[in-house]
Amino acid sequence: MRTKSLEILFLDKDTKDITITSKATLILSPAYYWFHKEKLDIPLSQAKKIAPSIFEGTIPEGDYSYFVEKVEDTYWFFAYKDEEILQKLSLLGIKPSQIAKVYPAQIALFGIDTPVKIGNKVAINENGTIILIPAHLANIEAKNIKEIAINPSAKPLPLKAYGSSILSEDLIYKLAILTFVAILIYALQVFLQKKDLAALQAKEVALMQKYNLPPTSLQIKSIINKLHKIQKEQLTLRENLDFILRAPLHPTEYFTKLDFAKFIIFTIKLSNPKRAESLKNYFVKKLHILQMQVKNNQLFVKCRR
């Protein structure tokens, strides 16, 4: 049964005046679409892809939208012009909020078994196809469209811009509120970011004054690079000294000198001159040796820091 809150609006090219008091279901006259039905052993997704080729060469040229519905074992193909329909609704003063769903007459009236009178025309189910003829030519008894129950089982027609440009006033109002709130939040974020930036700049100035730092970022970067270089040199020196002091000395062997002012220079008192060769092999593994010799039973080593 038809939902009581929905009125039926039949849109024909001859439609002059319409009064709607609540939400309406829009039924399109066959004058607003081209219809073709054919049995095809293909999936619905494939049928939708070939819809334009179904009408190729059989309908006037233009910018058409296409809709495909499968009824039992037959595909129904529809071609229609969205702009033409929307312009007609606009001329009739139909508000976007007044239209609930859109159906072609082929779908909405397919189940009727008696002619239906619509204005000065009659809709007839002719071998499964809904056609519209002038009432004075039909010469048959017909029911008024308001007297029949319309409950289409198929999906409504996807009219372009029906859900976007033809928006209800309530939805437009809600979108306007959301847009305003978004702008307000963005403005607040910008304000807070500028406030934080000002605070950081003030801290930057205070630090520069406290530690007597140069004013330009280039100069500061140069200082940082120099400090990084010094840090790297100190770490390398620390590693080299640690490596030297961990040398595998015998209990009677010991360092007699260790200097690392410009170069690392150290001497080791050997327990036996033959021990020099073993210690040499140890130090060359890590140190950059500049000079190494044995004199007076002592191993003398000079290397880079």
Please compute the mean of the pLDDT values over residues 113-127 and round it to a whole number.
Answer: 85
pLDDT at 215 over 70: no
Give the helix/strand (H/E) hosting 294.
strand 289-295
pLDDT in tens, 222-237: 777 788 888 888 888 8
pLDDT in tens, 76-111: 999 999 889 988 988 888 877 788 889 999 998 887
| Average pLDDT of the chain, as a whole number | 83
CB atoms within 10 A of CB 74: 12
Q: Looking up tokens 């205070």, which residue turns up?
A: 206
Please give the Cα distance from 244 to 267 (Å, whole number).
11
Give the amino acid at 131.
Answer: I
> How large a percentage of the chain has pLDDT more than 70?
90
Reported confidence tier of residue 165, pLDDT bands at 50, 70, 90: very low
pLDDT at 166: 44
pLDDT at 1 over 60: no
Nearest partner of 88 among 30, 28, 22, judged by Cα: 28
pLDDT at 172 over 70: no
Reported confidence tier of residue 33, pLDDT bands at 50, 70, 90: very high
pLDDT at 46: 93
pLDDT at 135 over 90: no
Please give the Cα distance from 74 to 38 (Å, whole number).
6
* Cβ-contact 281, 234 below 8 angstroms: no
Q: Looking up tokens 């210690």, which residue turns up?
A: 279
pLDDT in tens, 250-295: 999 999 999 988 899 999 999 998 899 999 999 999 999 999 999 8
Reported confidence tier of residue 171, pLDDT bands at 50, 70, 90: low
Structure tokens at 26: 């829009």
CB atoms within 10 A of CB 132: 20
> How large a percentage of the chain has pLDDT more than 90?
31
pLDDT at 277: 92
Please give the Cα distance from 303 to 305 (Å, whole number).
7
Nearest partner of 302 among 274, 271, 260, judged by Cα: 260
pLDDT at 35: 94
pLDDT at 90: 87
Please compute the mean of the pLDDT values over residues 39-68 and round it to a whole number.
Answer: 92
